[in-house]
Amino acid sequence: MEFNLNRRSFVKGAAATAAFLPSFNILHAEDATIGPKDDQINVGLIGFGKEARVLSESLVRIPGVRVRAVCDIWKFQCQQAKAFFKGYGMDVKSYEDYREMLEKEDKNIDAVVIATPDWMHCEHTCACLRAGKHVYCEKEMSNKLEQAAEMCRVQKETGKLLQIGHQRRSNPRYRHCFENIVPNMLGRVTTAYAQWNRTLAPFFTYKKPPKQEILTKYGYENAEQYLNWRWFYKYGGGSMVDLGSHQIDLFIWAWGVPPSSVRAVGGKDAFNPPRMAYDRMYCIYEFKMPDGTKNEAIYQVISSNSRGGFYEQFMGMNASLTIAEISARGNTVQRELREGGLSDAEWQKFIDKGWILPNEGDKIKKEVTKDIAVDTRISVQANGNALAVTMNKPAHMPHLENFFAACRHGTPLNCPCELAYESAVAVLAANVSADRGEVYRFKPEEFKVPPRPAAPAAPAVPAPKA
């Protein structure tokens, strides 16, 4: 495991990183500052839209990583990329077509980071793997399951690394929760809940999108679809694939098994004109646990209202965890104050272990509410204790670091493609359930990558005439 979650050593590491932050833009001024030359990893980027900009903020902070080339079909994005990396002392070549980038930069690139719309992930990833490059590809692996499967097959055939961008899998706060808190503090967790509520504008527009001939050349029907690709099934998978993909992955991680069924209901008409893909969705996933019990995860994603924002909750007999990528939205473990629940002394042990921080407010609140505890209709609520693990880095940085560590030292990836494939199966099935208006029941074998479908049989050779 890359992160040592022993609190003292983690805090030491985080402090060391934090100490670098104010001066990070000089990190790459000279190779001498980033270690031996052969330790340097040269990177190509495919797609320089909103997410690639976020990833780039991390890339420039990771010692030993140099971005050499960028590809984007929109010239404007290439110019932006060149200007951005120039600010960090990196002279980046730009390309419109990834094939040309792979050909011309073959000797200059060790790894490729892909942040194009979901429908291009398979083509871009497979080409890069076959060209001998390690790949970090953004989630969702693909909006088509067969393409996600093909990415896994090509990874296996080429032996190159393929990390999928479910960045919470490397976030030390989430790792602390799923390695320590959920299995050891919460008691039996029957119920999880997650939501991502946000307000989106109607379709994005841009004064000068790429010319139609470029869009046509790369498969986009028009600028509206190109700029708003998430809402068209050809290119994306709506709100569930966009945001649900992050959070459904967490249910699977926390419980260690993929779901056994999903029932989803969705709507497409929050905006006018209505979207092709669901703008909102409400799901119940069931998980059959190895010990024969069953757990449920409730999931909601809304694009027209931001009430409550985004977070995940795991509700156990002894305590509940509320966590979010932004700690201000979720960072607590809250004890259940019930008969037979964890005693003060048992709770204190978790504080002593350095898993949660002390919380004086908990004691005060219990005293104030003691009298009403006799009313069995009311559950007395404890205040939450904050998680004792923090992260002082941009959200995507640990996941990229984990990828580059694997490239350099062969250490394990936190989100290899087979893991991401499981969550793609679970996420894409929600759209199917909502379309059909019925429960989608998974077969366990669906979560394994199937063999490549046989090529259509060649037409039978006509028998020679006698």
Does residue number 224 form part of the binding site for ligand NAD (CB under 6 A)? no
* Min CB(145)–ligand NAD separation in Å: 15
Is the Cβ–Cβ distance between 312 and 192 less than 8 Å?
A: yes
Separation between Cα atoms, residue 374 and residue 396, nearest integer Å:
47
Residue closest to ligand NAD when measured from CB atoms: 49
- Pick the binder of ligand NAD from 45, 58, 66, 72 (CB under 6 A): 72
* Min CB(318)–ligand NAD separation in Å: 31
* Min CB(151)–ligand NAD separation in Å: 13
Q: Any idea which residue has 């779901």 for tokens?
A: 259
**Would you say 52 or 189 has its CB closer to ligand NAD?**
52
Is the Cβ–Cβ distance between 114 and 136 less than 8 Å?
A: yes
Is the Cβ–Cβ distance between 276 and 232 less than 8 Å?
A: yes
**Would you say 142 or 320 has its CB closer to ligand NAD?**
142
- Pick the binder of ligand NAD from 125, 142, 163, 167 (CB under 6 A): 167
* Min CB(268)–ligand NAD separation in Å: 19
Q: Which 386-405 residues touch ligand NAD, going by CB under 6 A?
A: none
Q: Any idea which residue has 């509320």 for tokens?
A: 322
The residue among 406, 463, 426 whose CA lies nearest residue 155 is 406
Q: Any idea which residue has 């272990």 for tokens?
A: 353
* Min CB(232)–ligand NAD separation in Å: 12
What is the CB-side half-sphere exposure of residue 343 using CA atoms within 13 A? 2
- For ligand NAD (CB under 6 A), the number of binding residues is 25
Does residue number 120 form part of the binding site for ligand NAD (CB under 6 A)? yes
Separation between Cα atoms, residue 150 and residue 383, nearest integer Å:
47
Question: What is the pattern of x (binds ligand NAD, CB under 6 A) and - over residues 97-116?
Answer: -x----------------xx
DSSP-derived 3-state class of residue 67: strand
| DSSP β-ladder status, 319-323 and 331-336 | antiparallel
Q: Which 180-219 residues touch ligand NAD, going by CB under 6 A?
A: 218
Q: Which 121-140 residues touch ligand NAD, going by CB under 6 A?
A: 138-140
The residue among 2, 1, 105, 126 whose CA lies nearest residue 45 is 105
179: left (phi over 0), alpha (psi -120 to 50) or beta: alpha
Separation between Cα atoms, residue 316 and residue 314, nearest integer Å:
6
Does residue number 73 form part of the binding site for ligand NAD (CB under 6 A)? yes
**Would you say 47 or 172 has its CB closer to ligand NAD?**
47
Binding region for ligand NAD (CB under 6 A):
46-52, 71-74, 77, 98, 115-118, 120, 138-140, 165, 167, 218, 242
